[in-house]
C-alpha cells in the first residue's frame, strides 16, 4: 500500500463530531492512525488448515489473545483486557481508554506479553500459576478471575496441539461412531475443540439465544445510525442475507437483528422454546419499525423452518399493529401494495429462499465461468433462484412478482459477518448472495442501494460499507505478504487460493461495482508484473496463474478496471506465454519482455 492509498483510506470513514473540532492536520493524522490500527489488529489466517496437522505454536498467541478478549458470562470469565484495564486504573475514563489510545495499546501489549510467557512454559499447572502471578504483579488482576481464564486457555492450548482428525476420518470411513461436537468459531465457542468430531448444529427453537438478542440491539442501532448519518433519515426497507451456518455459530445473531429492525422480541414458552414474538412499543423503540426483506440460504431453510415461521410471524404481527404509517414502514408498504391490487396476505411476504431441494443463487457460477453479458442477468438469476416464499402455510410457494416488488423498495442491503477466517473475498458465497441481492435491488428500484456489513466478531461490533470491508480484506489478505506467503507455503493450492481471492474480488465488481482500480493495479504489480513472483506462481501452479491473469484482463475488458494500456499489454503477453506453456508450445521458464 502506498501513501496515496493510505490517504484515501484515511478519508473514507466518517469522523465523529469530536474530531471536527481538531485542526485539519490532527484530524487527518488521527484518521490515518485509526485506519492503520484497524488493519494491524485484524486477525488473519496465515495459511490453510491441513487435515490432521495441529496449528503451529506461534499461531497460538493470536488465537489465545482473541479468546481472552471476550467476556464469557456462562463460565464466569471476564475479558482479560478489561481485567487488566481495570487493574491499571485505565478503564474508568472512557475518553482516555478507547480504541487506539495509548492506554489501550498498553493493555494489549501486556496481555500479549503475558500470553506469550504462558505459552513458553510447559502446558501444566505451573504455567497457569505463573500467568496468574504475572497479571497480579503487573496489573493487579484478581487471581481467582485470571485463574478461571487461564485454566480455559490451558485446555484450549492442549486441545489445539493434539489433533485426531485423521483417526476420526478413518473411523468415519469404517462406519464407526464419531463423537459429536458443536459447530462454531474457536473464539466464539472454544467448546469446538478438539476438532475432528462430528459437528452438530443448534436447537432451532433456541434461536435467537438470549445473548444473541441482547447483543443485536447495539448492532441494529449502529446500522441505522450509519445510514442516517449518510442519508439524513432511516432506511424504510432493508434486504438482509441470512445464512444457516452463521446463525448456528452466532446462535442466531442475524435473526435477532431482523427482529430488532421490526421492533419485536422473541417470546419463550415454558420449555424455553422461542415460539412467538412480543411487540416492543414504539415509545420504547424510539424509532420507526423498519421493513426487512429476508433472503435466506437453502441451508438456513433446511435447518431453521421454525425460525422462518417466526420471522414471517414477526412481520405479520407488526403489520397488524394500530400505529401511524410513518412509524411502521412494513405496514405502510403493505397498505400501498394492497392499494395496487395485491392481497393483504401476499403483501406481507418477506422471507424468500430457493425452491425446496435447491441451494445457492448460481450467480457465483455465472460470474466465475464468465457466462454473463450484463449485470442485469446476475440480478435476475438471483431472483429466479430465490423467489420462493416461506412462512406459515407458504412452504416455498413461487412468488417472483412479490419478490420483485419487495426488492424495488429496498434502500440498504446488509449481511452480518461473524467469522475471522472467512471473509468477503475468501469464498464466492458473499458476492453471490449480498452482491446478487444488491444487483437485483438496483435494477428493480432504479438506484444502487447502500451496502453495509456488520463485523460481528469483535468486542465492539463495527458497521462498515461494502467498499470499506473490501479494502480491509484486500489490505489484510490478498495484498498482505504475511497472508500470501502463508498461502504459498502450500504450493499448488496456495496459488489457487490467491487466484480465488482475486476472482472473488472480481465477483464484487461484477455484482456491485464495489472495487476500486488501485486494487487490481496492486494485484497486477504484486503477483504478475514482479518477475520473481510471477515465476514462483507459474512454477507452482500455472493453471491458476493463467486464470489470475485472465481474470484481470476480464475485469479490464468489461470496463470494471481502468489502467494504463501498457499494463494490459504486459498482462496479455504474460497470458499468451502461460497459455503456450500449458499447451506445451514454449519452454517452462521465460522472462517477461518489457513492453514499455
3-class secondary-structure state, position 391: coil
For residue 518, state whether it binds ligand BEZ (rule: CB under 6 A): no
Cα–Cα distance for residue pair 368/363, rounded to 1 Å:
9
- What distances in angstroms separate CA 88 from CA 71, 141, 579, one per listed residue? 18, 9, 62
Residues in the chain: 596
From Mg ion, ligand BEZ, none, interface partner of 556 (C-beta below 5 to 8 A by class): none
Task: Enter the C-alpha cell of residue 101.
Answer: 489510545
For residue 368, state whether it binds ligand BEZ (rule: CB under 6 A): no
Nearest to 67 by CA among 157, 136, 142, 138: 157
For residue 435, state whether it binds Mg ion (rule: CB under 5 A): no
Nearest to 447 by CA among 407, 399, 506: 407
From Mg ion, ligand BEZ, none, interface partner of 300 (C-beta below 5 to 8 A by class): ligand BEZ
Region from 31-39, 184-192, 216-224, 241-249 binding ligand BEZ, contact rule CB under 6 A: 241-249
State in angstroms the smallest separation of the CB of 433 from Mg ion.
9
For residue 360, state whether it binds Mg ion (rule: CB under 5 A): yes
Cβ pair 551, 503 in contact under 8 A = yes
Residue nearer to Mg ion on the CB measure, 5 or 354: 354
For residue 245, state whether it binds ligand BEZ (rule: CB under 6 A): yes
At residue 122, φ and ψ (nearest 5 deg) are -60, 150
Helix (H) or strand (E) holding 81: helix 80-87
CA 134 to chain centre: 35
For residue 561, state whether it binds ligand BEZ (rule: CB under 6 A): no
From ligand BEZ, Mg ion, none, interface partner of 301 (C-beta below 5 to 8 A by class): none
State in angstroms the smallest separation of the CB of 7 from ligand BEZ.
36
Region from 142-150, 349-357, 360-368, 524-532 binding Mg ion, contact rule CB under 5 A: 360-368
Residue nearer to ligand BEZ on the CB measure, 166 or 305: 305
Cα–Cα distance for residue pair 265/252, rounded to 1 Å:
13
Angle between helical axes of 305-319 and 253-262 (0-180°, round to 10): 10
Cα–Cα distance for residue pair 77/70, rounded to 1 Å:
8
The answer, yes or no, to whether the previous bond of 148 is cis (omega within 30 of 0) is: no
Cα–Cα distance for residue pair 136/83, rounded to 1 Å:
10
State in angstroms the smallest separation of the CB of 360 from Mg ion.
3
Residue nearer to ligand BEZ on the CB measure, 299 or 389: 299
Touching Mg ion, residues 50-69 (CB under 5 A)? none
State in angstroms the smallest separation of the CB of 300 from ligand BEZ.
5
For residue 244, state whether it binds ligand BEZ (rule: CB under 6 A): yes
For residue 114, state whether it binds Mg ion (rule: CB under 5 A): no
For residue 297, state whether it binds ligand BEZ (rule: CB under 6 A): yes
Cβ pair 35, 140 in contact under 8 A = no
Region from 25-33, 102-110, 261-269, 356-364 binding Mg ion, contact rule CB under 5 A: 356-364
In 197-326, where do the E strands start and end? 198-200, 237-242, 264-268, 274-279, 291-296
Q: How many residues interact with ligand BEZ (rule CB under 6 A)?
A: 7
Using the rule CB under 6 A, which residue among 243, 484, 518, 575 binds ligand BEZ? 243
Touching ligand BEZ, residues 424-453 (CB under 6 A)? 429
- What distances in angstroms separate CA 261 from CA 126, 273, 312, 325, 334, one per listed residue? 49, 21, 13, 16, 17
Residue nearer to Mg ion on the CB measure, 252 or 360: 360
Cα–Cα distance for residue pair 568/562, rounded to 1 Å:
10
For residue 300, state whether it binds ligand BEZ (rule: CB under 6 A): yes
Using the rule CB under 6 A, which residue among 9, 68, 139, 299 binds ligand BEZ? 299
Region from 39-47, 209-217, 238-246, 271-279 binding ligand BEZ, contact rule CB under 6 A: 238-246
The contact set with ligand BEZ (CB under 6 A) reads 243-245, 297, 299-300, 429
The contact set with Mg ion (CB under 5 A) reads 360
Amino acid at each position: 500500500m502506498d501513501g496515496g492509498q493510505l490517504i484515501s483510506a484515511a478519508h473514507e470513514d466518517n469522523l465523529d463530531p469530536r474530531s471536527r473540532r481538531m485542526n485539519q492536520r490532527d484530524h487527518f493524522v488521527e484518521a490515518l492512525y485509526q485506519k492503520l490500527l484497524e488493519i494491524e489488529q485484524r486477525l488473519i489466517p496465515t495459511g490453510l488448515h491441513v487435515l490432521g496437522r495441529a496449528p503451529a505454536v506461534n499461531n497460538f498467541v493470536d488465537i489465545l489473545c482473541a479468546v481472552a478478549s471476550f467476556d464469557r458470562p456462562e463460565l464466569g470469565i471476564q475479558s482479560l483486557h478489561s481485567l487488566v484495564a481495570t487493574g491499571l486504573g485505565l478503564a474508568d475514563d472512557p475518553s482516555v481508554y478507547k480504541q487506539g489510545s495509548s492506554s489501550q495499546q498498553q493493555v494489549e501489549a501486556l496481555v500479549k506479553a503475558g500470553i506469550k510467557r504462558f505459552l513458553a512454559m510447559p502446558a501444566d499447572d505451573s504455567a497457569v500459576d505463573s500467568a496468574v502471578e504475572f497479571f497480579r504483579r503487573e496489573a493487579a488482576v484478581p487471581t481467582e478471575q485470571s485463574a478461571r481464564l487461564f485454566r480455559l486457555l490451558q485446555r484450549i492450548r492442549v486441545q489445539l496441539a493434539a489433533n485426531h482428525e485423521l483417526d476420526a476420518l478413518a473411523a468415519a470411513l469404517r462406519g464407526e461412531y464419531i463423537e459429536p461436537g458443536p459447530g462454531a468459531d474457536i473464539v466464539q465457542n472454544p467448546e469446538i475443540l478438539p476438532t475432528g468430531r462430528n459437528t452438530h448444529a443448534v436447537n432451532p427453537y433456541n434461536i435467537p439465544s438470549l445473548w444473541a438478542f441482547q447483543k443485536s440491539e447495539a448492532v441494529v442501532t449502529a446500522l441505522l445510525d450509519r445510514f442516517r448519518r449518510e442519508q439524513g433519515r432511516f432506511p424504510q426497507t432493508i434486504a438482509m442475507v441470512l445464512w444457516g451456518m452463521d446463525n448456528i455459530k452466532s446462535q442466531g445473531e442475524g435473526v435477532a437483528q431482523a427482529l430488532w429492525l421490526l421492533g419485536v422480541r422473541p417470546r419463550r414458552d415454558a420449555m424455553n422454546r422461542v415460539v412467538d414474538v412480543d411487540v416492543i412499543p414504539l415509545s420504547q423503540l424510539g424509532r420507526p419499525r423498519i421493513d426487512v426483506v429476508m433472503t435466506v440460504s437453502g441451508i438456513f431453510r433446511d435447518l431453521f423452518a421454525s425460525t422462518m415461521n417466526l420471522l414471517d410471524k414477526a412481520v405479520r404481527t407488526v403489520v397488524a399493529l394500530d400505529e401511524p404509517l410513518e412509524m411502521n414502514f412494513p405496514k405502510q408498504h403493505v397498505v400501498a401494495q394492497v392499494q395496487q391490487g395485491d392481497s393483504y396476505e401476499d403483501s406481507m411476504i418477506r422471507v424468500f429462499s430457493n425452491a425446496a431441494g435447491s441451494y445457492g443463487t448460481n450467480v457465483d457460477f455465472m460470474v466465475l465461468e464468465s457466462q454473463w453479458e450484463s449485470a442485469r442477468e446476475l440480478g435476475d438469476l438471483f431472483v429466479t433462484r430465490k423467489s420462493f416464499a416461506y412462512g406459515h402455510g407458504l412452504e416455498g410457494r413461487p412468488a417472483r412478482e412479490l419478490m420483485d416488488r419487495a426488492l424495488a423498495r429496498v434502500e440498504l442491503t446488509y449481511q452480518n459477518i461473524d467469522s475471522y477466517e472467512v471473509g468477503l473475498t475468501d469464498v464466492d458465497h458473499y458476492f453471490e448472495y449480498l452482491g446478487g441481492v444488491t444487483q437485483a435491488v438496483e435494477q428493480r428500484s432504479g438506484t444502487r442501494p447502500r451496502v453495509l456489513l456488520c463485523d460481528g466478531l469483535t468486542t465492539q461490533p463495527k458497521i462498515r460499507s461494502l467498499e470499506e470491508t473490501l479494502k480491509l480484506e484486500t489490505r489484510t489478505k490478498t495484498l498482505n505478504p504475511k497472508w500470501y506467503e502463508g498461502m504459498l507455503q502450500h504450493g499448488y493450492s496456495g496459488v489457487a487460493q490467491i487466484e480465488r481471492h482475486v476472482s472473488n474480488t472480481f465477483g464484487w465488481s461484477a455484482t456491485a461495482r464495489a472495487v476500486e482500480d488501485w486494487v487490481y493495479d496492486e494485484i497486477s504489480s504484486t503477483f504478475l508484473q514482479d518477475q520473481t513472483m510471477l515465476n514462483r506462481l507459474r512454477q507452482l501452479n500455472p493453471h491458476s496463474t493463467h486464470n489470475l491473469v485472465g481474470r484481470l484482463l476480464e475485469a479490464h475488458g468489461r470496463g470494471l478496471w481502468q489502467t494504463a494500456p501498457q499494463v494490459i499489454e504486459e498482462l496479455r503477453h504474460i497470458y499468451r506465454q502461460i497459455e503456450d506453456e500449458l499447451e506445451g508450445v514454449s519452454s517452462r521458464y521465460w522472462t517477461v519482455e518489457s513492453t514499455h
